[in-house]
Amino acid sequence: MKHIVVAVAITGSVPRRKDNPAVPITPAEQIESTHEAYEAGASLVHIHVRNDDESSSSDPDRFDAVQHGIRRYCPGMIIQFSTGGRGRDPLQRGSSLHLQPDMASLATGSVNFPTTVYANEASLVTALATKMREHNVLPEIEIFDLSHLYGAKRLVEAGLINQRPHVQFVIGNRKRAPCSGAPARYSPSRTESQTRPGLRPALAVIRQRSCGGRLPGERTLFERASKTIFG
């Protein structure tokens, strides 16, 4: 039997209540929503917190409150903080890492989003990776484009992340690497992730936030690039 990790991002950084009245905004709502997903089988939660006006927040007290509730009501669930940059001051993106969640997201390069640029300067990436190492937080390396694999490799070579990092490919949205067509065909669904320990020596890949299927035996462009870069 193949084991999978079901990850849930309960809020994200973009949706507002005007888009979906069910979006959890307050820490209490986020805890309740996470518990519902936990009861349904989710084992990892990716956390964005919001200000009272629903904008993205870096407030450590809000992250702390959500983490405390999840650890109380969802024992054993992997807690992953977002250090994502949409709507957040870059200098504050790592301000909650001292709370020592199990994991935190770490994008290794900049990328175009449909209406903005998600900026991740090399100095910021290095600073976030260093802070995660100092607080014993496992990075979730977010790969939005092929060049970001090289950014991950540089972090490995610098000793800032471990030799087999946890990697997520984020593809399929406008302005990013596609998930349609044979070169980029990718799976599984956005609610299921599968570890790929065969990408040695440096990569264990979690595959999610993608679309489409793939033919038996077909290797994706990302997988081929991973093996080329990491050996």
Confidence (pLDDT) at 168: 85
Q: What's residue 178's pLDDT?
A: 63
Amino acid present at 78: I
* pLDDT digits 0-9 by tens, 205-222: 444 454 444 434 445 566
In this predicted structure, what is the pLDDT of residue 171?
Answer: 74
169 and 133 within one domain: yes
Same domain, 132 and 201: yes
CB 172 within 8 A of CB 186: yes
- Same structural domain, 60 and 127: no
136 plus 224 within the same structural domain: yes
For residue 2, the model assigns a pLDDT of: 79
The tally of domains found in the chain comes to 2
Q: Are residues 45 and 148 in the same domain?
A: no
Which residue positions in the chain have pLDDT lower than 70?
173-231
Domain boundary among 63, 91, 119: 91
CATH of residue 32: 3.30.750
CA distances, 213 to each of 180, 208, 221 (Å): 9, 12, 14
Q: Which of 159, 36, 186, 44 is nearest to 105 (CA)?
A: 44
Asked whether 48 and 56 are in contact (CB, 8 A), the reply is yes
Regarding whether 117 and 223 lie in a shared domain, the answer is: yes
Q: What is the pLDDT of residue 193?
A: 33
Burial 84-101 (b: 16+ CB within 10 A, else e): bbbebebeebbbbbebeb
Q: Are residues 62 and 137 in the same domain?
A: no
**Same domain flag for 132 and 80:** no
Q: Which of 69, 91, 113 is the last residue of a domain?
A: 91
Range of the domain at 18: 1-91
Q: Which of 91, 120, 141 is the last residue of a domain?
A: 91
Residues 169 and 199 in one domain: yes
Question: Which two tokens mark 115?
Answer: 């209406």
Q: Is this model's pTM higher than 0.85 or not?
A: no
User: Which pLDDT tens digit goes with each residue over 109-133?
Assistant: 998 887 788 899 999 999 999 999 9
Task: For residue 68, tell me if it sits in a domain.
Answer: yes
Domain membership of residue 97 (yes or no) is no
pLDDT value of position 63: 97
Do 15 and 80 have their domain in common?
yes
